[in-house]
Amino acid sequence: MTVRKEQELILQQLGRRQLANGTIDRREFLTRSMVAGLGLAGVGAVAKSGGIGSAFAQDRPLTPTFYQWIEDLHPAIPAVNANFEGINYQIAPVEGFGIERFVAEAKDGKSTWDVYAGQTPFVEMSAMIEADVIEPWDPYIPQEVLDDMIPAIRDECTIDGKLYGWPFLLDVIGNSWHSGITEAAGLDDTAPETWDQHLANAKAIVEAGAAPFGATFDAHGWRSIAPMTHSLNSDVYTSEGLFDFTNDAAVEALMLMKEIMAVSHPDILLEGASDGGVNGTPDEVAFAAQRVGYYHKYFNAPLRMAQNWDDPKQLRLAQLPKFANGEGSTVFWTTGCALFKHGQNKEKAAEYIRALTYDSQIWKDSIVGTESGHPGQLPPYKSVYAEWDANPPDWMPEFVGLVRGQLNQAKAITNHLFGLQQFVIGKPHWEAYLKGEESDPKVALQNVADAVKAEMDRG
Amino acid sequence: MAQATIAQRFWVFREGANVWLFLVPTLAFFVGYQVYPIFRVLWISFTDFQYLSNEPANWIWFDNYVEAFNDPLMWKSLWRATYFTLMFLPGTIILPLLLAILVDRVSNPKLATLYRVILLIPAVIPSTLIFVLWKWMYNYQVGPINHFLVETLGLFTLYNAPQWLGGTPLTLPAVAIMEVWWGLGYHTIFFLAGLAAIPKELPEAARIDGATEWQVFWHVTRPRLAPIMMILIVLRFGTAMAVIDEYLIFGGFNRDSPTYTWTIFMYDQAFKLGLWRQGFAAAIGMIGAIAMMIVMVILIRIFRPRG
């Protein structure tokens, strides 16, 4: 009898949340309440038949699916899984952010999995919503977890007021340097605060012969022009959510890229060697080969590359420099979890993702590194940082506090169907300026905006 | 008399039915696996089908084709594939042919077998390993090719060494070199099989009649290898024009890259951009396929065995 009442209470709460959230209307709410009133036998029958939604149609164990690299870089995940008896943990059939399988299943009104850990909002969240693959977490995520999210991260995962991504692994674009090289160039072992300092230091490295190249960056737009623009001004998105390439801040960023290129390795603009050119980029090779002093990218990159150095302890990490009059923002993104609309075990999925994203061992491993990798990805919750502030762990490196500070200003790339692709389409056009084929950065960036618009106009 | 005719017809029909019965599995496979997908893509190419959209597709006749024909990227990307094929195709014929003739002249059976095994090694290496190997070989900063050019020969410096991969003008020749190396042994075996089928008396008789080695090759060997040459040219033309994996790996989706060919253009539209415009992508694919078929017919005509 107690179990029955608990089940009815859960159903009522679920219904109320869905009504408040707009997932169901009043008629549906009343129908469900009536069905719930029929008792467990009726509820079970209706739920199994799909009439009451799939939240309680648990005819299989909780089935999460993870992007392979998440498992590779975070060895503590199996320990979390161990607390969820019968969990059917799987690796996702995705490569290079491909979501074809998820979409194909959704078209048939089904999903092999309940939750996908591997969604990057600006990359594929809009597409997953458009294709009716995922649904909002709002009816299932506890309010205290929502309130605990760093506001910018919650914004990143929200579209039209609904939380479509439960943030997990936070990547922030920041700066890094090889202290062995900077010391050999006679530079202080402190982070350059402005781009002017950054450039001056990079030139000093080359002039002193401490390394062949002064500085580098990843030339893909979301890792270069976007964060550099944000460091001056992050209010650079059009009303429809596209990056405003014609904004003055973007022009300044492009000019800065060209200045850095002058002290960088000649292959800096080349495509990478994996994931359709997106990863295995030349900047990583240069930094791993200890041929360059400064490097700005998401922290995972310098941390991984420094493992190839003679002395990995010479790596220094810090926040992204800013323009002298700049806002001091950067770009971040989270790799989070999406809830499949046609999946099952939705309450259980929320319980699982909560346990996963608050797991202290995962965060320690990510920040300190393990034998399997050193991702340097950070948690999305205020309370985790507050706990670390109150009781600083002896393993905590300095950069975490710096990045947390910058997160108050940092901004994610706005979600849009072309959120990532606008940078892919635009790259050849702004590179015309970087290569000297176009002398005016404004013209180059106007060409970018035109090219993106032309592609969107295709339909 | 009439009864005999009926009986004969029955037996003829039964024989025919037997033949068709045995053909059914192949026919079913052919229709289901080859014909249906082609006609499905053809149908999609006349619609505004977008994979991520839940709206039903509309029949739009030739709009996708008109759009593709009017898009400079379509022509540019087709030319890039052609350019690669022009570099790749001679390498799949001339080098293997030369090697086959050399290996065919090795009289020691053990040595001849050893040469064949060595030649076949690249062909049995999985594509992933081939790509990893060549990515490292061509790497601007740490690759052995540039190391040799910069450190050993001193022809270049770290600041002006060749940039092989990643979307530079050297990328297509670099990929072509890799492909030729990869298929060298495989193609050589084709020619070795052809050479083995030529009676030894023919070149010997020509030599006795005073023919030079070149004349022997041109007038005796080459015509008898013509069917193999034609098969290789047609098959490899098709694969060279439709390369996609290598371009995705060595060039990405940068539209200015020489590796952004019509296959990448098609993939980009079908699985990356917007709502995944698969109707338009299908039209790009059909245009590419038809262009290839036209050239194939011409190639078959040119390289058909004569005499």
- Reported as a single tens digit per residue, the pLDDT across A200-246 is 999 999 999 999 999 999 999 999 999 999 999 999 999 999 999 99
Position B3 confidence tier, pLDDT thresholds 50, 70, 90: low
Mean pLDDT of B252-268: 94
Dist. CA A202–CA A207, nearest whole Å:
9
Interface of chain A toward chain B, CB-CB under 8 angstroms: 98, 100, 103, 127, 130-132, 212, 265-267, 269-274, 276-278, 280, 282, 285-286, 289, 291, 417-418, 421, 424-425, 427-428, 431, 455-456, 458-459
The confidence score (pLDDT) of residue B69 equals: 96
A240/A284 same-domain check: yes
In a domain, B195, yes or no: yes
- Say which residue the tokens 């005499």 belong to: B307
Q: Is B261 helix (H, G, I), strand (E, B) or coil?
A: coil
CB contact under 8 A, B142 and A285: yes
The confidence score (pLDDT) of residue A149 equals: 97
Residue A313's CB is within 10 A of a number of other CB atoms, namely: 9
CB contact under 8 A, A132 and B54: yes
Position A373 confidence tier, pLDDT thresholds 50, 70, 90: confident
Query: What total of structural domains would you count in chain A?
Result: 3
Range of the domain at B9: 1-45
B38/B129 same-domain check: no
Residue-wise pLDDT tens digits, A269-287: 998 887 778 888 999 999 9
A274/A374 same-domain check: no
Chain A residue closest in CA terms to B162: A267
In a domain, A318, yes or no: yes
Chain B residue closest in CA terms to A289: B142
A214/A314 same-domain check: yes
The confidence score (pLDDT) of residue B236 equals: 93
B71/B209 same-domain check: yes
B28/B175 same-domain check: no
In a domain, A92, yes or no: yes
Contact residues, chain A, for B67 at CB < 8 Å: 458
pTM of the model: 0.86
B17/B155 same-domain check: no
- A33 pLDDT more than 60: no
For residue A296, the 8-state DSSP code is E
A107/A240 same-domain check: no
Name the nearest CA neighbour of B252 among A268, A424, A277.
A277
B41/B128 same-domain check: no
Q: Is B61 helix (H, G, I), strand (E, B) or coil?
A: coil
Please give the radius of gyration of chain B, using alpha carbons only, rounded to the nearest integer. Answer: 26
Residue A222's CB is within 10 A of a number of other CB atoms, namely: 24
A263/A308 same-domain check: yes
- A141 pLDDT more than 70: yes
In a domain, A138, yes or no: yes
The confidence score (pLDDT) of residue A28 equals: 55
B33/B115 same-domain check: no
The alpha-carbon gap from A132 to the nearest alpha carbon of chain B, in Å, equals 8
Average model confidence (pLDDT) for chain A? 89
Strand bridging mode A115-119 / A64-66: parallel
In a domain, A52, yes or no: no
Chain B residue closest in CA terms to A98: B271
Taken in order A347, A353, A358, A359, is the CA torsion positive or negative? positive
Chain B residue closest in CA terms to A457: B274
For residue A320, the 8-state DSSP code is P
B246/B153 same-domain check: yes
Number of Cβ pairs < 8 A linking chain A and chain B: 108
Q: Give the DSSP letter string of B97-150.
A: HHHHHHHHT---HHHHHHHHHHHHHHHHS-HHHHHHHHHHHH-TTT-HHHHIII
In a domain, B92, yes or no: yes
A305/A250 same-domain check: yes
The confidence score (pLDDT) of residue A31 equals: 53
Residue-wise pLDDT tens digits, B56-87: 999 999 999 999 999 999 999 999 999 999 99
Average model confidence (pLDDT) for chain B? 91
Of B168, B253, B271, the CB nearest to A277: B253
Mean pLDDT of A315-321: 93
In a domain, A57, yes or no: no
In a domain, A51, yes or no: no
- A409 pLDDT more than 90: no
Dist. CA A343–CA A349, nearest whole Å:
10
Mean pLDDT of A70-93: 94
CB contact under 8 A, B51 and A103: yes
Residue-wise pLDDT tens digits, A97-118: 689 999 999 999 999 999 999 9
In a domain, B52, yes or no: no
Residues above pLDDT 90, as percent of chain B: 73
The confidence score (pLDDT) of residue A94 equals: 77
Query: What total of structural domains would you count in chain B?
Result: 2
CB contact under 8 A, A418 and B273: yes
Of B54, B254, B274, the CB nearest to A271: B254
Of B139, B163, B250, the CB nearest to A285: B139
> Which pair of structure tokens corresponds to residue B29?
């496979």
A186/A87 same-domain check: no
A219/A280 same-domain check: yes
CATH number for the domain spanning B91: value is 1.10.3720.10
Say if CB A299 and CB A171 are below 8 A apart: yes
CB contact under 8 A, B141 and A456: no
Residues above pLDDT 70, as percent of chain B: 98
B278/B157 same-domain check: yes
Dist. CA A296–CA A217, nearest whole Å:
5
Rounded to the nearest 10 degrees, what angle do helices A382-390 and A398-406 cross at?
140
- A2 pLDDT more than 50: no
- A444 pLDDT more than 50: yes
Position A405 confidence tier, pLDDT thresholds 50, 70, 90: confident
Residues 6+ apart with CB under 8 A from B226: B303, B304, B305, B306
Q: Which of A333-342, A389-398, A413-422 has the lowest mean pLDDT?
A: A389-398
A208, burial (CB in 10 Å: exposed 0-12, middle 13-18, buried 19+)? middle
CB contact under 8 A, A428 and B135: no
For residue A222, the 8-state DSSP code is G
Mean pLDDT of A175-199: 96
CB contact under 8 A, A459 and B50: yes
| Amino acid found at A364 | K
Cβ of B82 under 8 Å from any chain A Cβ? no
A419/A279 same-domain check: yes
Residue-wise pLDDT tens digits, B20-31: 888 999 999 999
Our CA angle for A236, A237, A241, nearest 5°, is 170
Of A98, A103, A291, the CB nearest to B141: A291
- Say which residue the tokens 């498992």 belong to: A71
Mean pLDDT of A126-150: 97
For residue B33, the 8-state DSSP code is I
Of A267, A421, A456, the CB nearest to B140: A267
Q: Is A144 helix (H, G, I), strand (E, B) or coil?
A: helix
Residues 6+ apart with CB under 8 A from A123: A97, A333, A419, A420
Dist. CA A141–CA A145, nearest whole Å:
7
Rounded to the nearest 10 degrees, what angle do helices B222-241 and B171-196 cross at?
150
Position A402 confidence tier, pLDDT thresholds 50, 70, 90: confident
A38/A79 same-domain check: no
For residue B220, the 8-state DSSP code is I
Mean pLDDT of B260-270: 96
Contact residues, chain A, for B273 at CB < 8 Å: 418, 421, 425, 455, 458
Dist. CA B30–CA B130, nearest whole Å:
32
A369/A322 same-domain check: no
CB contact under 8 A, A286 and B141: yes
A291/A434 same-domain check: yes
CATH number for the domain spanning A376: value is 3.40.190.10
Contact residues, chain B, for A269 at CB < 8 Å: 166
B241/B192 same-domain check: yes
Of A98, A103, A212, the CB nearest to B52: A103
Rounded to the nearest 10 degrees, what angle do helices B72-104 and B278-303 cross at?
40
Angstrom distances, CA of residue A180 to CA of A211, A264, A295: 10, 18, 14
In a domain, A246, yes or no: yes
In a domain, B157, yes or no: yes
B97/B211 same-domain check: yes
The confidence score (pLDDT) of residue A52 equals: 42
Name the nearest CA neighbour of A329 among A459, A265, A233, A393.
A233
Q: Is A135 helix (H, G, I), strand (E, B) or coil?
A: strand
In a domain, B50, yes or no: no
Mean pLDDT of B40-63: 95
The confidence score (pLDDT) of residue A16 equals: 57
B129/B176 same-domain check: yes
CB contact under 8 A, B254 and A130: no
In a domain, B123, yes or no: yes
Q: Which of A52-56, A384-388, B114-118 has the lowest mean pLDDT?
A: A52-56
Position A4 confidence tier, pLDDT thresholds 50, 70, 90: very low
The confidence score (pLDDT) of residue A74 equals: 94
- A163 pLDDT more than 80: yes
Residue-wise pLDDT tens digits, B191-206: 999 999 999 899 899 9
In a domain, A20, yes or no: yes
Range of the domain at A177: 173-331+412-457
B133/B21 same-domain check: no
